[in-house]
């Protein structure tokens, strides 16, 4: 293993049970032959982190033992596994928080996000990045230019979700695109749609502040669906990126879908949600979902580095490792909170 002053101990924030986080000492993990050791610089708070904190589970993924949350992460490589030749100690990287088998049908087809053996940060029982050091496969440690901040490098992860959604929707120049849900992923989906040449990008939500942010980031139109039905505010669209997961938002989206529109389900909705099958048939709508992403980090890094998409502008607060609970509850205490960021190398900010 090639190393430069390899650390021997660290601290990390563990979710012990619902609503209870504790910072504890831990050994620094050793990278395997194809892995790198990364000193974590910044970690964005995702809705899934909040959900595990509040409920202890998401669908069939249940927190049964102490778990380190956090999967939107950046950092600096501090040590290399014995067989790593494509990375160097000292490189700043955006961490793609998943490891796959590389051999199954899905992996070989380029859909490694659907690998049945995928291992993903902060998905029970796999620990995430609210820690000073983590290890991951070297090919998932994507080098970033110095022009990207640590925070922006961490947010390459949700930007990759938006890139994947846009690819699934096959957004083309001239398309009319509607994004339902103005959270961080929804805002990034709107950004990517514009970057792909959409002629019109609308954003809907029930939060006026988030809709204002969408307008400031370049949305063609915003619609507060708490004040009037979506169909009364928006003309038919070619593409819908549904980012809220809320049943009313999903159902209203079908009402504004133009014939042959493409609808991509990005937000995680209820498993028993009903879809308007007759409308899908009569309009010949194409409806699909997304599950994380595959092969998107290089494109996301290029988009951010080019200045086409502002990631730093989404950050609304910084927290040290001892303040993880505050970070996870920021959206409840601050109605303007969008993307809190945790800095594991600091106790407090």
Do 175 and 191 reside in the same domain of the chain? yes
Q: Which two tokens stand for residue 29?
A: 């993990």
Do 86 and 205 reside in the same domain of the chain? no
Question: What average pLDDT does this structure show over 108-113?
Answer: 96
Q: Is residue 43 part of a domain?
A: yes
pLDDT digits (tens, 9 = 90+) for 133-178: 999 999 999 999 999 999 999 999 999 999 999 999 999 999 999 9
pLDDT of res. 269: 85
Question: What average pLDDT does this structure show over 28-54?
Answer: 97
**Which CATH number characterizes residue 174's domain?**
3.40.50.720
Q: Is residue 20 part of a domain?
A: yes
pLDDT digits (tens, 9 = 90+) for 20-36: 999 999 999 999 999 99
Do 38 and 119 reside in the same domain of the chain? yes
pLDDT band at 5 (very low <50, low <70, confident <90, very high): low
pLDDT digits (tens, 9 = 90+) for 240-291: 999 999 999 999 999 999 999 999 999 988 888 899 999 999 999 999 999 9
In the predicted structure, residue 4 carries a pLDDT above the cut 70: no
pLDDT digits (tens, 9 = 90+) for 166-197: 999 999 999 999 999 999 999 999 999 999 99
Q: Is residue 248 part of a domain?
A: yes
pLDDT digits (tens, 9 = 90+) for 199-252: 999 999 999 999 999 999 999 999 999 999 999 999 999 999 999 999 999 999
User: 56: domain range?
Assistant: 2-155+311-343
The Cα–Cα gap between 201 and 218 comes to: 8
User: Which residues, at least 6 apart from 92, have a Cβ–Cβ distance to it below 8 Å?
Assistant: 41, 74, 75, 76, 143, 144, 146, 150, 153
Q: Is residue 304 part of a domain?
A: no
Arithmetic mean of pLDDT over the chain: 96
Vertex 157: Cα angle to 175 and 201 (nearest 5): 20
The Cα–Cα gap between 25 and 22 comes to: 10
Do 144 and 195 reside in the same domain of the chain? no
- What's the pTM value of the predicted model, to 2 decimals? 0.96
pLDDT of res. 60: 87
> What is the count of structural domains for the chain?
2
Q: Is residue 247 part of a domain?
A: yes
In the predicted structure, residue 1 carries a pLDDT above the cut 50: no
Give the 3-state DSSP-derived string for the chain, with helices as H, strands as E and coil as C. Answer: CEECCCCCEEEEEEEEECCEEEEEEEECCCCCCCEEEEEEEEEECCHHHHHHHHHCEECCEECCCCEECCCEEEEEEEEECCCCCCCCCCCEEEECCEECCCCCHHHHCCCHHHCCCCEECCCCCCCCCCECEEEEEHHHEEECCCCCCHHHHHCHHHHHHHHHHHHHHCCCCCCEEEEECCCHHHHHHHHHHHHCCCCEEEEEECCHHHHHHHHHCCCCEEEECCCCCHHHCCCCEEEEEECCCCHHHHHHHHHCEEEEEEEEECCCCCCCCCCCHHHHHHHCCEEEECCCCCCCHHHHHHHHHHCCCCCHHHEEEEEEHHHHHHHHCHHHHCCCCCEEEEECCCCCC
pLDDT of res. 7: 84
Do 149 and 183 reside in the same domain of the chain? no
């Amino acid at each position: 293993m090639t190393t430069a002053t390899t650390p021997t101990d660290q601290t990390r924030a563990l979710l012990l049970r619902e609503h209870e986080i504790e910072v504890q000492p831990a050994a620094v993990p050793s990278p395997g032959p194809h892995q790198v050791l990364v000193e974590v610089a910044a970690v964005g708070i995702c809705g899934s982190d909040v959900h595990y904190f509040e409920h202890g589970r998401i669908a069939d993924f249940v927190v049964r033992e102490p778990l380190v949350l956090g999967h939107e992460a950046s950092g600096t490589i501090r040590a290399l596994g014995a067989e790593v030749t494509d990375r160097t100690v000292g490189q700043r990287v955006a961490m793609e928080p998943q490891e796959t088998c590389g051999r199954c049908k899905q992996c070989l087809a380029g859909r490694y996000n659907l690998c049945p053996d995928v291992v993903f940060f902060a998905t029970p029982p796999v620990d995430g990045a609210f820690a000073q050091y983590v290890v991951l496969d070297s090919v998932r440690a994507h080098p970033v230019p110095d022009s990207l901040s640590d925070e922006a490098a961490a947010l390459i992860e949700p930007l990759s979700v938006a890139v994947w959604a846009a690819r699934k929707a096959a957004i083309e120049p001239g398309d009319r695109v509607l994004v339902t849900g103005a959270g961080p992923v929804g805002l990034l989906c709107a950004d990517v749609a514009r970057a792909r040449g959409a002629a019109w990008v609308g954003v809907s939500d029930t939060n006026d502040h988030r809709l204002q942010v969408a307008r400031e980031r370049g949305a063609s139109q915003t619609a507060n669906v708490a004040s009037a039905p979506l169909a009364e505010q928006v003309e038919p669209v070619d593409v819908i990126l549904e980012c809220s997961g809320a049943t009313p938002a999903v159902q209203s989206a079908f009402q504004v879908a133009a014939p042959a529109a493409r609808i991509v389900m990005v937000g995680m909705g209820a498993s028993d949600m009903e879809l308007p099958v007759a409308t899908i048939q009569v309009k010949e709508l194409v409806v699909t979902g997304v599950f994380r992403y595959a092969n998107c980090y290089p494109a996301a890094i290029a988009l951010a580095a080019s200045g086409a998409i502002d990631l730093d502008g989404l950050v609304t607060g910084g927290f040290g490792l001892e303040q993880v609970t505050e970070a996870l509850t920021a959206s409840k205490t601050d109605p303007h909170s969008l993307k809190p960021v945790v800095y594991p190398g600091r106790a407090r900010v």
